[in-house]
């Protein structure tokens, strides 16, 4: 266990000002779209998405492109958008096609205690985070910079918002470089990490919160896990351990660097855009959005790990291999 005290260079240490959208958008060609639809039609009837394998969903033309995408996510800038994914399909087929693409890229993990492998990021109308059982992706609020629990997050846009809902990314490697340069004495605070609320998703007998480090440096590879800040604040009421000023300072600085205009990439996802983000090196956020009657912003989210993903010690990314299922209360 040690702290990275070298400036990291290479493609993961980007600033947004380095890029044009054409750098990160991979547009599907008509033949590739056809190939996807053909693979979809070739699936046995009533096959549940979670049982679809890459072999069930042959993509002779697209598969090498997806393999290249995985390499870019893992060893490059850590994000990309696949544009033009067919979505004009019944919901069951949207799921299958999405799953078929991801089956070529890695292994999906569960996203919540209900065991969902594909979830809708949409305004569920459940209220806001003052209800401890609500998770932020179920609201229309600003989602602050964070990572998810898997190596990769996929977000397939089915419907964009009437207003707002921009996706904003920043390199957590660049943030680390800045912290090292300007606030080296604070680095350890991130490596110790913060205590997060389980949002009522804990298993019976388990603490309703858990600690996770923000940064880890294993085998000379830097990885980040920066979970939703609201969950740190709400954990305080359960753990009865107040945040210190020094911890708030560390959170403020991380977000301030992520919010620096020059560092960010901001994008509006259009229907058919499938955004991939490598949580180990990129933090993502979303601006607040507004729906209009009959038009609800809707993204299909999947969390997956890649076959040659980096090694991390157990406990660094607590739910990297999926959230455990809990029995529903009767």
Instruction: Name which of 36 and 179 has its Cβ closer to a copy of itself.
Output: 179
Six-digit token string for 68: 């290249």
Residue 181, both tokens: 């340069």
Of 312, 78, 320, 321, residue with least CA distance to 218 = 312
Write down the least CB distance from residue 198 to a copy of itself, Å: 11
Which positions lie near a copy of itself, rule CB under 8 A?
1, 3, 5, 180, 184-189, 191-193, 195, 207, 209-211, 213, 239-242, 244-247, 249-250
Instruction: Report the nearest approach of a copy of itself to the CB of residue 245 (Å).
Output: 4
* Residue with smaller CB distance to a copy of itself, 154 or 213: 213
Residue 133 or residue 249: which is nearer to a copy of itself going by CB? Answer: 249
Between 191 and 321, CB nearer to a copy of itself: 191
Closer to a copy of itself at the Cβ: 162 or 211? 211
* Closer by beta carbon to a copy of itself, 115 or else 188: 188
3-state secondary structure the chain: CCCCCCCCCCCCCCCHHHCCHHHHEEECCHHHHHHHHHHHHCCCCCCCHHHCCCCCCCCCCCHHHHHHHHHHHHHCCCEEEEECCCCCCCHHHHHHHHHHHHHCCCEEECCCCCCCCEEEECCCCCCCCCCCCCCHHHCCCCEEEECCCCCEEEEEEEECCCEECCEEEEEHHHHHHHHHHHCHHHHHHHHHCEEEECCCCCCCCCCCEEEECCEEEECCEEEECCCCHHHHHHHHHHHCCCCCHHHHHHHHHHHHHHCCHHHCEEECCCCCCEEEEECCCEEEEECCEECECCECCEEEEEEEECCCCCCCCCCCCCCCCCCCCCCCCC
CB of 7 to a copy of itself, least distance (A): 13
Instruction: List b or e across 311-328, with b for residues whose CB sees 16 or more CB atoms inside 10 angstroms.
Output: ebeeebbbbbebbeebee
Q: Compute the least distance from the CB of residue 239 to a copy of itself, in Å.
A: 6
Give least dist CB 234 to a copy of itself, A.
15
> Shortest approach of a copy of itself to residue 254 CB, angstroms?
12
Question: Cβ of residue 193: shortest distance to a copy of itself, in angstroms?
Answer: 7
Q: Which is nearer to a copy of itself, 81 or 235 (CB)?
A: 235
Residue 180 CB, nearest approach to a copy of itself (Å): 8
| For a copy of itself, the closer CB: 102 or 187 | 187
- Residue closer to a copy of itself (CB basis): 3 or 89: 3
CB-CB contact of 143 with 255 (8 Å): no
**CA 40, CA 224: separation in Å to the nearest integer?**
35
State in angstroms the smallest separation of the CB of 79 from a copy of itself.
28
């Amino acid at each position: 266990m040690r702290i990275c005290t070298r400036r990291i260079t290479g493609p993961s240490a980007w600033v947004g000002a380095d890029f044009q959208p054409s750098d990160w958008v991979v547009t599907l060609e008509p033949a590739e779209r056809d190939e996807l639809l053909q693979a979809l039609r070739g699936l046995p009837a009533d096959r549940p998405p979670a049982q679809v394998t890459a072999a069930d969903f042959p993509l002779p033309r697209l598969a090498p492109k997806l393999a290249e995408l995985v390499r870019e996510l893992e060893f490059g800038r850590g994000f990309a958008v696949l544009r033009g994914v067919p979505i004009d399909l019944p919901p069951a087929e949207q799921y299958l096609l999405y799953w078929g693409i991801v089956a070529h890229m890695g292994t999906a993990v569960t996203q919540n205690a209900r065991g969902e492998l594909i979830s809708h990021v949409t305004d569920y109308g459940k209220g806001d985070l003052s209800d401890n059982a609500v998770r932020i992706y179920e609201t229309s609020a600003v989602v602050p910079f964070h990572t998810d629990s898997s190596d990769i997050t996929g977000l397939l846009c089915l419907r964009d918002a009437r207003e707002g809902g921009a996706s904003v990314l920043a390199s957590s490697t660049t943030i680390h470089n800045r912290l090292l340069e300007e606030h080296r004495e604070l680095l350890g605070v991130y490596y110790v990490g913060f205590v997060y609320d389980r949002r009522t998703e804990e298993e019976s007998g388990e603490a309703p919160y858990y600690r996770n480090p923000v940064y880890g440096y294993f085998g000379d590879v830097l990885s980040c896990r920066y979970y939703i800040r609201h969950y740190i604040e709400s954990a305080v009421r359960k753990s009865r351990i107040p945040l210190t000023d020094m911890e708030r300072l560390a959170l403020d600085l991380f977000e301030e660097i992520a919010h620096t205009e020059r560092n960010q990439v901001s994008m509006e996802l259009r229907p058919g855009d499938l955004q991939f983000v490598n949580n180990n090196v990129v933090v993502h956020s979303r601006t607040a959005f507004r729906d209009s009657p009959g038009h609800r912003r809707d993204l299909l989210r999947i969390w997956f790990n890649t076959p040659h993903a980096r090694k991390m010690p157990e406990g660094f990314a607590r739910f990297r291999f999926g959230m455990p299922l809990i029995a529903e209360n009767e």
